C-alpha cells in the first residue's frame, strides 16, 4: 500500500514532462480536437497539455498495471456530461481517425477502457462517469440508470426507494454500470433472478454513426448484443432501463470460515455439488484464500428456514444460529462488499480510489473437481504471492435461461464460476511477474478439471492471455478473434460478429478483445 502512490506519481510526472509519445501535434488529433470544440465545452476535454489531464485519466483507473509510464496514453479525455457530448465524440472520432475507449467505472481487468496495447493507435477516452443519474420508479418496479453510475450507487437508490425491491447485479459496489451490464453481471441474486443483463428492459445507445438509439430503433439484434456481448464493440450505451425484482423485507445471511485443518478440502469438494442444487432463493459462495475457505450465504427469507435448509443439504458445514443475521437486502449489499452489515449504507456511494495492480481470469466448472486437487491447491495458496479463488455457484434461474437468450452462454450445465484473482501493491517487474505467474500457473494446473472445447471464461473477468485481436485489411479478423471469442461466448460469438457487421462494419468501436465484423454478413438472419 505504502509504495503504491509512487507508481502514480511517476505516471503523472511522466505525463507532465512529456515523456510519453502522444502525437498531440498530429493533424488528425488537432482536427479531432477542433471538431469536439464545436459541440463540447472546453472544460470537458482534457489533453496532455491540460493541468488536470493526469488526474482525469487516473480518476477511474482501477488497475495500476495500466498506470505506468510505458502505458500508451489517450490524446484526449472527454468527460461527457450530456448525450450530445458522446455523440460528438463518436462523430469526430470517426471523421478524424481517432478511436474511442469508452469508460464507465474503469474496472476492466485489462484496462481496455482507458489504455491501448497498440502504441501506434491514436485514441481518446470517452469517460461517462458524470452520466450517473439513477431514477427509480418503485411503483412500476423499474429504474433508469446512467452507465457512469456504480453498482453501489444503483443499489443505494433502489434501497432508498423501497425495502422490498432490489436489483440483481455484482457484489463490488465500485464497478461501473456501463461495463458490468455490457458483460452480464452476476451477484447474490443471480440464482433467483439471473444476470443484471437479463433484467435490462431498454437502453439508450450512441451508434457508430453518432445517432441515439433506443430498444425500438436499434432493433432486436443490437439490443440482444449489448446485453452481455462485452463492452465497447457495438456503440456507447449511455443509460439502461432496468426491471427491479421483489425481495422480502428480511433476508438472512451468514459467513463461516473453515480452515485447511478443519476439513476445508472436504467441504469445498461437497459444496461443488450441493450449492448449485440448492433452492434458487439461496446462494452459498466460497472464497478460498491462504489456508481457509470462507462460505457466505444469502437467503431470501429468515434464518430459521436457512438453517433448516443447511442442516438438510449441507450438515457438515456446521452453520449455527449465532452465525446467521437477519437484515434487509440493501444491508446485505454492504455485508457482501464490506464483510459487515453494521457499516453505513453510504459506503455504497464511495467510488473508491485506485490502489492496486490486478490480474485475474476465470473458468467454468462442469464436473466436481476431485478432493485431491483441492488438497494440492493449498500449496499454491500458501505462497507469499498467492491471490485468492472465488467460487460463484450457478444453477437455479441461471440454468433455466436459454444459452442463446443473451450473448452470455454459461447457463445450464455449469456448476460454478471459478475466478482466480491476484492484487498487489508492490511496484516493479519482479513483483508483477511473480503475481502474474501465480494466476497463470494455477490456471494451467486446473485445465484438466474445468470446461473443455472450448475452455470457457466470463467476459467481465477479462483476460488478454486468452487471445487478442489482429487486423486483416484494416478490420479485426473474425478467424483470429474466434480463439478468445468462443471462450467467452461459445456459439453466440458468430451472432455477435454478424450484429457487428450490421451496425459497425468499419470496425470503429474496437479494442484488443472487441467483436469483429463477420465477413460477408449483413445481419444475423443473412448468415
Ligand atoms: P470499464 O469502464 O473499465 O469498462 C469495461 C469494458 O466495457 C471496457 O471495454 C469499456 O470500453 C466497455 N464499456 C464501459 N462502459 C461502456 C458503455 N457505457 N458502453 C459501451 N461500452 C462500455 N463482475 C460480476 O459480474 N460480478 C461481480 O461481483 C464482480 N465483482 C468485481 C469486483 C472487482 C473488484 C472488479 C475489478 C471487477 C468485478 N467484476 C464483477 C467485473 C466487472 O463486472 C467488470 O470488470 C466490468 O466490465 C466493469 O465495468 P466498468 O464500467 O467498471 O468498467
Query: What pLDDT digit, counting tens, does each position of 132-152 carry?
Result: 999 999 999 999 999 999 999
Could you identify the atom of ligand 1 that is nearest to the CA of residue 236? 19
Is the distance from the beta carbon of residue 349 to the nearest atom of ligand 1 less than 6 Å? no
Look at residue 14 in the predicted model and tell me its pLDDT: 41
* Nearest CA residue ID for atom 29, ligand 1: 170
- Ligand 1 midpoint to CA 113 (Å): 9
Q: How far is the CA of 326 from the centre of ligand 1 (A)?
A: 30
CATH number of 134-246: 3.30.465.10
- Give yes or no on whether 31-127 and 134-246 have one common fold: no
pLDDT per residue over 243-297, tens digit each? 999 999 999 999 999 999 999 999 999 999 999 999 999 999 999 999 999 999 9
**Residue 271, class by beta-carbon neighbours within 10 Å (0-12 exposed, 13-18 middle, 19+ buried)?**
buried
What is the topology classification, in CATH, of domain 31-127?
Answer: 3.30.43
d(CA 51, CA 269): 55
Q: Which residue has the cell 432463493?
A: 281
For ligand 1, whether the C-beta of 183 sits within 6 Å is: yes
Q: Among the atoms of ligand 1, which is closest to the Cα of residue 226?
A: 20
Q: Is 460 in the pocket of ligand 1 (CB under 6 A)?
A: yes
Alpha-helical (H) ranges within 279-370 are 303-313, 329-338
Quick one: pLDDT at residue 4? 40
- Residue 16: is its pLDDT beyond 80? no
C-alpha distances in angstroms, 16 versus 12, 63, 86, 211, 358?
6, 21, 27, 36, 25
Q: Cα(150) to centroid of ligand 1, in Å? A: 10
Q: So what's the pLDDT on residue 247?
A: 98
Going by alpha carbons, the residue nearest to atom 27 of ligand 1 is 170
Average pLDDT of span 475-495: 98
* Alpha-carbon distances, residue 375 vs 258, 288, 291 (angstroms): 14, 12, 11
Helix (H) or strand (E) holding 157: helix 151-161
- Is the shortest distance between the CB of 237 and ligand 1 below 6 Å? yes
* Confidence at residue 256, expressed as pLDDT on a 0 to 100 scale: 98
pLDDT category at 6 given cuts 50, 70, 90 is: very low
Q: What gap in Å lies between CA 419 and CA 223, rounded to an integer?
A: 28
Task: Please give the DSSP secondary-structure letter assigned to residue 176.
Answer: B
The ligand 1 atom at the shortest distance from the C-alpha of residue 183 is 47
The whole-number pLDDT of residue 523 equals 63
**What spacing in Å lies between the alpha carbon of 377 and ligand 1's midpoint?**
28
Which atom of ligand 1 lies nearest, measured to the CA of 63?
Answer: 36
Cα–ligand 1 centroid distance for 380 (angstroms): 28
Taking the centre of ligand 1 as the mean of its atom positions, its distance from the CA of residue 178, in whole angstroms, is 7
198 CB less than 6 Å from ligand 1? no
**Would you say the CB of residue 231 lies under 6 angstroms from ligand 1?**
yes
Give pLDDT, residue 109. Answer: 97
d(CA 102, CA 148): 10
Average pLDDT over residues 479-491: 98
For residue 10, the model assigns a pLDDT of 41
Q: What is the pLDDT of residue 68?
A: 87
Q: What is the pLDDT of residue 118?
A: 84
Q: What is the pLDDT of residue 354?
A: 77
Ligand 1, atom nearest to 358 Cα: 36
Report CA(496)–ligand 1 centroid distance (Å).
19
Provide the mean pLDDT of the chain: 94
pLDDT given for residue 524 in this prediction? 64
**Among all chains, which residue has been given the C-alpha cell 491540460?**
50
The stretch 154-163 carries a mean pLDDT of: 98
169 lines ligand 1 (CB under 6 A): no
* Cell numbers representing residue 393 in the block: 455457484
Question: Which residue is closest in CA terms to ligand 1's atom 15?
Answer: 178
Full DSSP string of 16-42: HHT-S---TTSHHHHHHHHHHHHHS-G
Confirm or reject: Cβ of 182 under 6 Å from ligand 1: yes
* Ligand 1 and 186: CB distance under 6 A: yes
Domain positions in the chain: 31-127, 134-246, 250-327+356-456
Verify whether ligand 1 is closer than 6 Å to residue 178 (CB atom): yes
Ligand 1 atom with the smallest distance to the CA of 109 is 45
pLDDT digits (tens, 9 = 90+) for 65-89: 999 888 899 999 999 999 999 999 9
Average pLDDT over residues 371-396: 98
Cα 235 to middle of ligand 1, angstroms: 15
The answer, yes or no, to whether any atom of ligand 1 lies below 6 A from the CB of 194, is no
Please compute Rg for the chain using Cα positions. 23
Residue bearing the CA closest to ligand 1, atom 36: 107
**What's the CA gap between 330 and 161, in Å, rounded?**
11
CATH of 250-327+356-456, one of 3.40.50.720, 3.40.462.20, 3.90.100.10, 3.30.390.10: 3.40.462.20
Output the pTM of the full model: 0.95
Q: Ligand 1 center to residue 303 CA distance, Å?
A: 33
Is 179 touching ligand 1 by the criterion CB < 6 Å? yes
Nearest CA owner, ligand 1 atom 47: 179
Residue 21: the pLDDT is 40
- Report how far residue 502's alpha carbon sits from residue 35's, in angstroms, rounded to the nearest whole number: 27
Ligand 1 centroid to residue 357 C-alpha, Å: 16
376 close to 197: Cβ distance less than 8 angstroms: no
Ligand 1 centroid to Cα of residue 1, in Å, is: 23
Amino acid at each position: 500500500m505504502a509504495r503504491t502512490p509512487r507508481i502514480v506519481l511517476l505516471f503523472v510526472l511522466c505525463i507532465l514532462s512529456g515523456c510519453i509519445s502522444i502525437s498531440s501535434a498530429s493533424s488528425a488529433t488537432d482536427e479531432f480536437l477542433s471538431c469536439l470544440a464545436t459541440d463540447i465545452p472546453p472544460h470537458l476535454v482534457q489533453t496532455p497539455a491540460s493541468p488536470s489531464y493526469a488526474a482525469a485519466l487516473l480518476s477511474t483507473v482501477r488497475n495500476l498495471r495500466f498506470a505506468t509510464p510505458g502505458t500508451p496514453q489517450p490524446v484526449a479525455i472527454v468527460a461527457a456530461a450530456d448525450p450530445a457530448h458522446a455523440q460528438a465524440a463518436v462523430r469526430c472520432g470517426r471523421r478524424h481517425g481517432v478511436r474511442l475507449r469508452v469508460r464507465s467505472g474503469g474496472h476492466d481487468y485489462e484496462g481496455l477502457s482507458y489504455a491501448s496495447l497498440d502504441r501506434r493507435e491514436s485514441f481518446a477516452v470517452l469517460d461517462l462517469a458524470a452520466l450517473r443519474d439513477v431514477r427509480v420508479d418503485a411503483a412500476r418496479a423499474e429504474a433508469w440508470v446512467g452507465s457512469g453510475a456504480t453498482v453501489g450507487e444503483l443499489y443505494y437508490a433502489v434501497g432508498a426507494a423501497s425495502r422490498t425491491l432490489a436489483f440483481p447485479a455484482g457484489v463490488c459496489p465500485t464497478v461501473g454500470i456501463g461495463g458490468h451490464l455490457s458483460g452480464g453481471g452476476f451477484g447474490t441474486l443471480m440464482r433467483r433472478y439471473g444476470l443484471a443483463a437479463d433484467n435490462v428492459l431498454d437502453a439508450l445507445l450512441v451508434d457508430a454513426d453518432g445517432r441515439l438509439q433506443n430498444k425500438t430503433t436499434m432493433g432486436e439484434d443490437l439490443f440482444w448484443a449489448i446485453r452481455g456481448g462485452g463492452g465497447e464493440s457495438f456503440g456507447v450505451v449511455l443509460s439502461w432501463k432496468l426491471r427491479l425484482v421483489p425481495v422480502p423485507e428480511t433476508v438472512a445471511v451468514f459467513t463461516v470460515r473453515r480452515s485447511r485443518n478443519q476439513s476445508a478440502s472436504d467441504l469445498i469438494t461437497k459444496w461443488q455439488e450441493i450449492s448449485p442444487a440448492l433452492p434458487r432463493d439461496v446462494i452459498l459462495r466460497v472464497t478460498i484464500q491462504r489456508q481457509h475457505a470462507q462460505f457466505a450465504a444469502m437467503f431470501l427469507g429468515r434464518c430459521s428456514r436457512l438453517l433448516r435448509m443447511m442442516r438438510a443439504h449441507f450438515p457438515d458445514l456446521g452453520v449455527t444460529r449465532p452465525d446467521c443475521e437477519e437484515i434487509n437486502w440493501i444491508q446485505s449489499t454492504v455485508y457482501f462488499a464490506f464483510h459487515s452489515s453494521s457499516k453505513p449504507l453510504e459506503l455504497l456511494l464511495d467510488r473508491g480510489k485506485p490502489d492496486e495492480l490486478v490480474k485475474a481470469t476465470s473458468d467454468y466448472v462442469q464436473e466436481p473437481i476431485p478432493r485431491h486437487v483441492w488438497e494440492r491447491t493449498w500449496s499454491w495458496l500458501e505462497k507469499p504471492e498467492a491471490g485468492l479463488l472465488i467460487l460463484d455457484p450457478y444453477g437455479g434461474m441461471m440454468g433455466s435461461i436459454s444459452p442463446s437468450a443473451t450473448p452470455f452462454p454459461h447457463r445450464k450445465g455449469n456448476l460454478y464460476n471459478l475466478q482466480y484473482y491476484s492484487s498487489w501493491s508492490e511496484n516493479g517487474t519482479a513483483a508483477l511477474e511473480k503475481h502474474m505467474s501465480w494466476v497463470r500457473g494455477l490456471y494451467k494446473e486446473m485445465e484438466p478439471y474445468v470446461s473443455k472445447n472450448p475452455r470457457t471464461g466470463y467476459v467481465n473477468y477479462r483476460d488478454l492471455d486468452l487471445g487478442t485481436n489482429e487486423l486483416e485489411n484494416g478490420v479485426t479478423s473474425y478467424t483470429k478473434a474466434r480463439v478468445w471469442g468462443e471462450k467467452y461466448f461459445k456459439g453466440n460469438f458468430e451472432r455477435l460478429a454478424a450484429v457487428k457487421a450490421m451496425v459497425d462494419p468499419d470496425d470503429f468501436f474496437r479494442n484488443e478483445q472487441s467483436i469483429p465484423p463477420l465477413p460477408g454478413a449483413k445481419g444475423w438472419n443473412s448468415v
